[in-house]
């Protein structure tokens, strides 16, 4: 296996209670050719105290900054990194010990830009949760994935390892988006690079704890619209028009479902818009029926 140096980036903001486990899951990797950059994004808890226990490890670089948000904090980590590959891990999540070993070996061609994996779930206390991602377009895919990515973001952020040159060509995370940061980046990278995945859950994602970001539904919808529209406008002809129509219909349905409980009128409009784009979109009919029955 060709040796690639990996830069693992952890950004943290008041996640000290989870940080030790996160860092240990990186340091205990079976693949050891990596550096670990910890970006403290203006934490006000005992993050310094937790990190201090690790600072005698020569692999670790600790960067402190004022709070700027995840996008800028992560971008600062990317700019400070020295590896050929860059990996991300949220401070409350965990990597499987074999994650880097299994993913690095898939960078067999220069055209492969991102390698990701399946995920499994745990609760706030770190106990396993029997949960699966069952949405239609969450099925992992490899190769050139732009068409599929337009429908949904099936690439878990903290499961990814990215060829660093991708950031040089297509930029980093856009701080304008408070939701969908990674989806926007994957779409841009997918224009030129292949994606590959390990068909195993190499990331354990923590869900349900109070400190976790709860996305504002309207903000999420707005960001999704911006990302989708800007990508299509900036890349005319990159996908067939019929795929765009189907993706738009699916997107309208997803947004309609999100808005059902807070704005039923707008939700209904979105389902109708979905049918205009794709009369065969079953999800739109289901959504309209639920709205009429107030489900």
Whether 88 and 189 share a structural domain: yes
Do residues 104 and 4 lie in contact, with contact meaning Cβ atoms separated by under 8 Å?
yes
Whether 171 and 58 share a structural domain: yes
Asked whether residue 151 is domain-assigned, the answer is: yes
Where does a domain end: 206, 230, 251? 206
Q: What is the pLDDT of residues 45-102, one digit of tens each?
A: 999 999 999 999 999 999 999 999 999 999 999 999 999 999 999 999 999 999 999 9
Asked whether residue 118 is domain-assigned, the answer is: yes
Asked whether residue 213 is domain-assigned, the answer is: no
Whether 118 and 180 share a structural domain: yes
Whether 41 and 118 share a structural domain: yes
Whether 191 and 50 share a structural domain: yes
Q: How many domains does the chain have?
A: 2
What is the residue range of 55's domain?
A: 6-206
Confidence at 132, pLDDT banded by 50, 70, 90: confident
Asked whether residue 171 is domain-assigned, the answer is: yes
Asked whether residue 168 is domain-assigned, the answer is: yes
pLDDT at 288: 97
Confidence at 270, pLDDT banded by 50, 70, 90: very high
Per-residue burial over 29-51, b = 16 or more CB atoms within 10 Å of its CB, e = otherwise: bebeebbbbbbbbebeeebeebb
Is 0.75 topped by the overall pTM?
yes
Q: Quick check: 192 pLDDT over 90?
A: yes
Whether 144 and 279 share a structural domain: no
Write the DSSP assignment of 81-133 as a string of letters: ---SEEEE--TT-EE-TTHHHHHHTT--STTEEEEEEEEEEE-TTS-EE----
**Cα–Cα dist 116/283, whole Å:** 28
């Amino acid at each position: 296996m060709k040796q690639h140096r990996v830069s693992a980036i952890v950004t943290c903001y008041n996640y000290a209670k989870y940080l030790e486990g996160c860092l240990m899951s990186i340091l205990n990797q079976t693949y050891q050719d990596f550096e670990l950059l910890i970006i403290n994004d203006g934490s006000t808890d005992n993050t310094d105290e937790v990190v201090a226990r690790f600072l005698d490890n020569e692999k670790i670089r600790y960067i402190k900054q004022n709070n700027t948000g995840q996008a800028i904090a992560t971008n600062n980590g990317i700019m400070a990194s020295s590896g050929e590959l860059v990996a991300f891990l949220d401070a409350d999540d965990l990597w499987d010990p074999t994650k880097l070993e299994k993913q690095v070996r898939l960078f067999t061609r220069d055209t492969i830009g991102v390698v990701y994996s399946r995920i499994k779930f745990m609760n706030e206390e770190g106990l396993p949760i029997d949960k699966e991602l069952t949405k239609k377009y969450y099925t992992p895919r490899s190769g050139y994935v732009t068409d599929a990515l337009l429908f949904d973001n099936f690439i878990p952020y903290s499961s990814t390892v990215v060829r660093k040159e991708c950031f040089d060509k297509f930029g980093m995370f856009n701080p304008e988006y408070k939701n969908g940061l990674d989806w926007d980046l994957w779409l841009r990278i997918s224009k030129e690079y292949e994606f590959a995945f390990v068909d195993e859950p190499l990331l354990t994602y923590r869900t349900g704890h109070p400190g976790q970001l709860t996305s504002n539904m309207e903000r999420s919808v707005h960001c999704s619209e911006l990302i989708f529209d800007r990508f299509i406008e900036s890349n005319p002809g990159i996908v067939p028009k019929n795929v765009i129509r189907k993706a738009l219909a699916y997107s309208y349905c997803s947004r309609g479902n999100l808005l059902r409980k807070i704005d039923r009128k707008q939700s209904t409009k979105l389902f109708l818009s979905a049918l205009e784009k794709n009369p065969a979109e079953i999800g739109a009919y289901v959504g309209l029926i639920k709205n009429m029955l107030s489900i």
